[in-house]
Amino acid sequence: MNIDKNTTILIVPGLRDHVPEHWQTLLEEQLVKAGQKVRSVPPLETDKLSCAARVAAMQQVVSEIDGPIVIVAHSAGCMITVQWAQQHSRAIQGALLAAPADLESPMPAGYPSTDAIAANGWLPIPRKALPFTSIVAASSNDPLGQYQRVVEMAQAWGSRAADIGAVGHLNPAAGFGPWPQVHDFINELCGA
């Protein structure tokens, strides 16, 4: 990666937080080994489903960073980022929003219900243009975000929609582990 060493990569995980074999966790390890500045929004101890608590946790980390920031979000982390951008003003160099979870649609078994998501402040999903460059990496067979709906969200946010193929929810359950393409997206956002 050819990222300016003054740029901080901010990892924004989804509701399942940090998963050991997840591409975001592996990316963070790679970046640290390469001497890149990297921060991650930490897991919540309480109010784990609260949108406000998640946005506040992201804001806390952002407020501690000096210099340029590139956000790398996944799943509900994309929604945390979009919600954060509606409430806070901070220059962001760019954001990768990978496999956004469509929280307005029913989730598969094992995920929070639409009623629980609504009760915790996630709905409606903001449809206002983001104040920074962004790329939405959309999977054609994501069980948590129907492709066309994700592309429509990307358009509303002013994001470039990137079709990343049939990669499920881009998580260990879908076979990811490492996701080499993330480096291309980060380089694009960094202007490399």
pLDDT, residue 25, reads 94
Mean pLDDT of 8-33: 91
Length of the chain as a residue count: 192
**Contact (CB, 8 A) for 136 and 161:** yes
- What's the whole-model pTM score? 0.96
pLDDT, residue 28, reads 95
Q: To the nearest whole number, what is the mean pLDDT of the chain?
A: 94
pLDDT, residue 47, reads 85
Mean pLDDT of 20-29: 93
Q: Could you report the per-residue pLDDT of 86-113, keeping only the tens digit for each?
A: 999 999 999 999 999 999 999 999 889 9
pLDDT, residue 19, reads 78
